[in-house]
Amino acid sequence: MLDISRKVAFVAGAGSVGEGWGNGRATAVLLARQGARVFGTDISADALAGTTAAMDKEGHRHWVGRTCNMTSSEQVESAVHECLERFGRIDILVNNIGGSAPGDPVSMPEEVWDAQMDLNLKTAFLGCKHVLPVMERQFESHGTGGTIVNVSSIAHMSHQMGGRVTVAYAAAKAGLGAFSRATAIAYVKKGIRVNTVVVGTMHTPLVENRLAKQLGADVDALVAKRNASIPMGRMGDAWDVAHAVLFLASDEARYITATQLVVDGGATAAR
């Protein structure tokens, strides 16, 4: 089940903010555990180094980590070229780039809005822009195209916990869902599936290393509040996200495209 041993995965955002398991790191390692050869990018060399250490510890030899700013078309194109030189093909693309900045339309500076659109939406566009032709050629020559999983957030589906307003983040993630669906239908006849994992409230290193500082909150109190906000009584973690990505990337999901898989412990339904 969920065997991807003949696959090559390109994971954008394969590092982690701080020590531990972020969504990208867990996804990259899980795909490697299932047999994939994994090429991972991150803007932070330190974040990638942590993923490399995790890969080395588990003995995954078919891993390449490369620093790359996924908002730069030239850098994305270069990374895709390097992946092809190393592994020969790309079967799975995971676009896992994002981050939220607080603000409403009045309080948010225009440059922050633009940066949020680039970080949360343009990165997926550029990943697809440079990988889709690769998958299309694979379909034309071998009859197997590929699959793309874009990682989004429930921020565009319900209000944020504690009334935190992140208007650009919510708008960009809503756009990502529409982008995924439109791209899926555009390439459905070319052997390429495109889906979205919509992530809820998770306990990853982001909570301690970024969110608590942004909110000026006590970490333990913030974690308790986030756990209490979920119908299941606890936050999910990076492995919940990684397993959802793995399923949508696998052949077991071969009849699924243009859809969203919400991984949120029931949060959006309850709100």
What does the pLDDT look like over 27-56, one tens digit per residue?
A: 999 999 999 999 999 999 999 999 999 999
Residue 144 has pLDDT above 70, yes or no: yes
The average confidence (pLDDT) of the chain is: 94
169: annotated active-site residue: yes
Structure tokens at 67: 């620093």
Residue 109 pLDDT: 98
- Which domains are assigned to the chain? 8-254 (3.40.50.720)
What is the arithmetic mean of pLDDT over 232-258?
Answer: 97
Of the residues 21, 87, 169, 179, which is catalytic?
Answer: 169
Tell me the CB-side half-sphere exposure of residue 110, using CA atoms within 13 A.
Answer: 0
Nearest to 24 by CA among 258, 254, 222, 197: 197
Nearest to 171 by CA among 152, 194, 199, 186: 152
Please report, rounded to a whole number, the percentage of residues in the chain having pLDDT higher than 70. 96
